[in-house]
Structure 1
Amino acid sequence: MAAYQEVCVCGFEEFNQAVEQHEGKRIFALFVGSKDAEGNSWCPLCTQAEPVIREGLKRASQECVFIYCQVGDKPYWRDPNNDFRKKLNVTSVPTLLKYGTPKKLVDAECRQANLVEMLFCED
């Protein structure tokens, strides 16, 4: 079974720093609505998708880095000019992507185990 390293970040700047620190490695990123003090996300789809994604991640075909990125609160996320939308073209949460490629899953796709597993297992 492939091993992966998980990096948890909050916000666009921390995401960019994590990508820079792991340059040259195979990177997957999950963008989710930020969680409150009790650990609850404002995004119900994100909460539903997370267990499916974590199960799929166990089947990744090679070693990789998994960046778990909380995008911010709901008002920030809804701003059409936020950095995730403008600079990464992440327009929906949850979004799971293979960084540096056009391969990504959005919204309800992130809850489909077969699609999640396919994204993690493709070369």
Structure 2
Amino acid sequence: MAQYEEVRVSGFEEFNRAVEQHKGKTIFAYFTGSKDAGGKSWCPDCVQAEPVVQEGLKHVGEGCVFIHCQVGERPYLKNW
């Protein structure tokens, strides 16, 4: 069982709300390309990094918050 709280959000506004709700706590944030119905991100770097992030979370202390933020679909981000 995790010693930290995990919060999943989508987009900048939800991320900001999550940060505000957990003010005063140690926050770890992970930004990834949004995932499809099968749970796979369109971003190959994110797919490669996810197991490393999950392993690192084993060392996160009690009372911390891990915010997993999906940033959007690839076509949307290519327009930035």
**Aligned runs of 1:42-81 on 2, under 5 Å?**
42-61=42-61, 63-80=63-80
Query: What amino acid maps onto 2:6 in structure 1?
Result: E
TM-score normalised by structure 2 residue count: 0.88
CA deviation after TM superposition for structure 1 residue 75, in Å: 2.1
CA distance in 2, matches of 1:31, 1:79: 18
CA distance in 2, matches of 1:9, 1:60: 19
1:12-68 per-residue CA deviation (whole Å, 9 max, x = no partner) reads 111111011101111010000001111111001101111111111111255310000
- Judging changes above 3 Å, is the alpha-carbon distance between structure 1 residues 61 and 5 closer, same or farther for their aligned structure 2 residues? closer
Per the alignment, residue 37 of structure 2 pairs with 37
Runs of 4+ in 1 over 6 A off after TM superposition: none
* Higher relative contact order (Cα pairs below 8 Å, separated by 6+ residues): 2
Identity rate, percent: 66
Q: Report SS of the residue matched to 1:58.
A: helix
Per the alignment, residue 85 of structure 1 pairs with none
TM-score normalised by structure 1 residue count: 0.59
Alignment: residue pair count: 79
Per the alignment, residue 16 of structure 2 pairs with 16
Could you list the runs of 5+ residues in structure 1 that have no partner in the other structure?
A: 81-123
CA distance in 2, matches of 1:37, 1:59: 29
Task: Tell me the C-alpha RMSD between the 2 structures.
Answer: 1.6
Per the alignment, residue 7 of structure 1 pairs with 7
Could you list the runs of 5+ residues in structure 2 that have no partner in the other structure?
A: none
